[in-house]
Chains A and B, each alone.
Chain A
């Protein structure tokens, strides 16, 4: 039996490393990706070792629970305090809201449950008379699953607290921040399997910045970096697909249809970044009866997104790496996290803490 093709094949890795070295830009060049899974691949495989000294590779707003605003967490807690069963993904539970996390609310007696998929919340709702609320976070990858449960005759005691976010508007918004110095985007493969390549072209048209969609294996990431550096060298910035085995221009029309049937675009607050136009998803009017914000009609003040001393906002906007934060691995660890980027398993700080983001040479 011949050995199966491996996406971490060292011979191919060396070939890509050589290509990256040849394409090394003379001046500092910052590549930003927006996906915790990319950061995981980069860090776990020690891929920063392949980067020329001039190239920096940072995670931007790639962790969905990290960019969930405190106010949404506060809302989830208030809903749970009414006696409803609050279901959400495990990562969300420990992210601090303005005062408390859902985990702390749970120890105060709230019924907060971890689910692995939106469908689990439906199961819970079918088994009880109590109100069940699914706190729906995530990018275009998880949003279709939320849409699917709402289109599949959900039980009347189920509602959704939507806090989904869309990636392309965020990519555009980061380029409007002062001092961003972003030279290129490594765009997320998973999100792109859903949305295709067209939204990047629409959003980033005229920005003259390389945008390369990359997969999640070590060779995928190295290949995408090589393509970015080639575009940069040749002065031909464009949207390029380095993950064609999963992504095509149109994306996944079935998932897009689900999204379109259930959601409409809305401005959304990204923790650490601010309000980004048309970057959120709200339930369309016919489905509003399933919107927990309407069902529970709780009035809340603005949330407190910032945490004294925590540099999550800089990490989420790719203006700092985790080890730039004085709290990193000192006062802030996964066991006693200060900021959201240390809580979410896709947060850059958490990944650096677990998998050694500093590079040994």
Chain B
């Protein structure tokens, strides 16, 4: 192996815990992620674990979540796997009504992975964390032999505190259904970025940590008015709504024309025959609120830049328990069912 290759690509030695591993930490990770935090023992100490000071509010609940992130392509319009990993975990906490207080980051990297790419990924991970003011408290890197992993996998665990936590099942008949913004941007941007379609679009992923938005929402309504939240990631809006309807044994009735969908998303969706309601979002939430709090909730969401396109899109009913109804724009009506796996483009 040439020294130059050593410089620019991840080698097995980077994961071996020796000098090279230390160098990777020093060069890449600590400058971006090792800032002083409230943790007495944090990432910068490179100890065997991290400490987290117990928050002052005793009535709160701790919320813990974990997620492994893979994405193709690793760099996509509007973000990359680093931003995705940060937003994914922060958003899982946010839709539980939990303020994120600490994150972990574990990276499994393929031997030969460009160090410059890893650098970019760590940088955007750090940026996304900064937007929510969350520290990384501990982490891990492993290097796998070439071919044993596809580029890079990031795992993040997040700890948050909620007073109290909001589930995704607290829907009650009469509640209103809000979306914090446009639907389909992430999934369609990724589809457009796939090489085989040879497409040039202006689509961008919506990947963003939405805790600041959710915090503004929770501040803007009376306590307890938010009955349920969920982030419509894999499986999109259709999967998330169906899950909520099933768990709460209610019927969710959605007005298709009220769902914010950007024109390029709509266009690509028609071209590929893939519904924007079935592709992932990475910076949005479904918010279920008590009917008399809907207007306030909408105001609070719209006042925040991440919620400028928020919209009231439906109502919780008891018409068809555990089902989702779509009142289509043209005036038709159908069930919006749980999508099956990843959508594939139509051929003909």
Contacts and interface: CB of A to CB of B under 8 A. Distances in A.
Interface string B75-102: 0000000000000000000000000000
B330 A45 contact: yes
- B interface, how many residues as a size bin? 20 to 34
Interface string B316-336: 000110010111111111111
Contacts of B58: none
Interface string B296-326: 0000000000000000000000011001011
B273 interface: yes
A116 B197 contact: yes
Nearest to A4: B263
A13 B330 contact: yes
A64 B346 CA distance: 12
Nearest to A63: B348
A49 B328 CA distance: 11
A17 B160 CA distance: 52
A339 interface: no
Given A44-B275, A360-B335, A10 B257 contact: yes
Interface string A137-148: 011011000000
Contacts of A6: 329
Interface stretch (B23-31, B200-208, B337-345): B337-345
B273 A345 contact: yes
B341 A335 contact: yes
A46 B196 contact: no
B347 interface: yes
A316 to B, nearest CB: 16
A139 B346 CA distance: 14
Contacts of B257: 10
B330 A142 contact: no
Contact of B332 (A40, A46, A116): A46
B340 A46 contact: no
Contact of A356 (B273, B335, B340, B346): B335
Nearest to B339: A354
A284 B327 CA distance: 50
Given A45-B334, A142-B348, A354 B329 contact: no
B328 A141 contact: no
A360 B197 CA distance: 36
Contacts of B344: 90, 345
23 contacts: A10-B330, A10-B331, A13-B332, A36-B346, A45-B334, A46-B326, A46-B328, A46-B332, A47-B330, A49-B332, A49-B334, A90-B345, A91-B347, A116-B197, A120-B196, A138-B348, A139-B348, A218-B332, A345-B347, A356-B336, A360-B319, A360-B320, A360-B333
Interface of B: 196-197, 257, 273, 275, 319-320, 323, 325-337, 339-341, 344-348
Interface of A: 6, 8-10, 13-14, 17, 36-37, 40, 43-50, 64, 89-91, 116, 120, 138-139, 141-142, 190, 218-219, 222, 333-335, 345-346, 353-356, 358-361
Given A46-B327, A360-B325, 9 more contacts: A10-B331, A45-B332, A91-B348, A138-B347, A346-B348, A358-B335, A359-B334, A360-B333, A360-B334
